[in-house]
C-alpha cells in the first residue's frame, strides 16, 4: 500500500524555493560554501528550477513501485572550487521542519548516499607554466560539478508523519526542508556545502 494512502493524503504538493541559501557552509575552511558548494536545484529532466513552482504527485500509483516518487525527486548541483584537490561527495543530508507543529515535534533527518569524486579546478597560480600544463593534462575528462538526485520527502519521513499525526497542524500544512552535501577532500578534510532549502506543502484528501 502506498505510504501516501497510509498517511491519508490525496496529494503532496512540492513547492520549490529556488536555491535559497539559509546558512553558511560548515566543515573545514569552507566559509559560505566557497570551497564546496550547493549551487541550486534541478529536476531529473535537467530543467532548472528557476522560480517557485508546484508539482502534484499522483498518490493512486503505489509508492512501492517508485512511481509515486518520480515527480518528487530533485537534483542538487554540487561543485568543487578547490584548485588543487578533488572532493569526494559522500552524501546529501536534509532536515525537515513542520510549520505550526506542536512544540517539540521533530521529523527525522534524511541521508542519501551519493558517492562521486569532483575534480579539482586546476585554476591555481603556478610560478612555473610547465606545472600548470601538467595539471591541465591530469584534469582532462573530469568534472568539477555534478547533479545528484534524491527523494524530496523519503518514505521514512512520510512514515514518521503517519505515526505522529497528532502532533501535526491542520491541513494544509507546510514542511521546510534544509539540505546540504557532505564530502571529503583529497587531504582528508570533511566539508559541508552551504544549505539550500525548499518547502513541501502537504494537502489532505
Backbone angles phi, psi at 62, to 5 degrees: -55, 130
Please say whether the beta carbons of 8 and 72 come within 8 A. no
The pLDDT tens digits of the residues spanning 132-159 come to 444 444 443 479 999 999 987 887 887 7
pLDDT tens digits, one per residue of 9-26? 445 555 555 545 444 444
Note the pTM of the prediction, 2 decimals. 0.75
Question: What residues pair up with 95 in beta bridges, in sequence order?
Answer: 178
d(CA 140, CA 120): 11
Tell me the per-residue pLDDT of 150-201, one tens digit each, with 9 for 90 and over: 987 887 887 788 778 889 888 778 888 899 999 999 999 999 999 998 888 7
- CA 149-34-76 angle, to 5 degrees, is 10
As a whole number of angstroms, the distance between CA 4 and CA 20 comes to 27
Classify the C-alpha dihedral 21-26-27-32 as positive or negative.
positive
Amino acid at each position: 500500500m502506498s505510504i501516501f494512502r497510509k498517511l491519508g493524503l490525496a496529494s503532496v504538493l512540492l513547492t520549490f524555493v529556488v536555491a535559497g541559501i539559509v546558512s553558511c557552509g560548515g566543515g573545514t575552511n569552507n566559509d559560505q560554501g566557497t570551497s564546496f558548494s550547493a549551487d541550486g536545484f534541478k529536476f531529473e529532466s535537467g530543467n532548472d528550477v528557476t522560480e517557485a513552482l508546484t508539482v502534484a504527485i499522483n498518490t493512486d500509483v503505489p509508492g512501492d513501485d517508485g512511481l509515486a516518487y518520480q515527480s518528487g525527486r530533485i537534483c542538487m548541483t554540487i561543485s568543487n572550487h578547490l584548485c588543487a584537490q578533488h572532493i569526494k561527495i559522500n552524501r546529501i543530508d536534509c532536515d525537515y521542519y513542520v510549520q505550526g507543529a506542536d512544540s517539540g515535534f521533530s521529523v527525522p533527518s534524511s541521508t542519501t548516499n551519493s558517492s562521486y569524486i569532483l575534480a579539482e579546478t586546476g585554476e591555481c597560480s603556478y610560478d612555473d607554466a610547465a606545472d600548470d600544463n601538467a595539471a591541465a593534462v591530469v584534469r582532462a575528462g573530469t568534472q568539477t560539478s555534478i547533479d545528484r538526485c534524491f527523494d524530496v520527502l523519503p518514505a521514512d519521513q512520510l512514515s514518521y508523519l503517519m505515526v505522529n499525526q497528532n502532533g501535526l497542524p491542520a491541513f494544509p500544512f507546510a514542511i521546510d526542508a534544509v539540505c546540504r552535501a557532505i564530502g571529503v577532500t583529497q587531504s582528508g578534510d570533511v566539508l559541508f556545502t552551504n544549505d539550500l532549502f525548499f518547502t513541501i506543502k502537504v494537502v489532505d484528501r
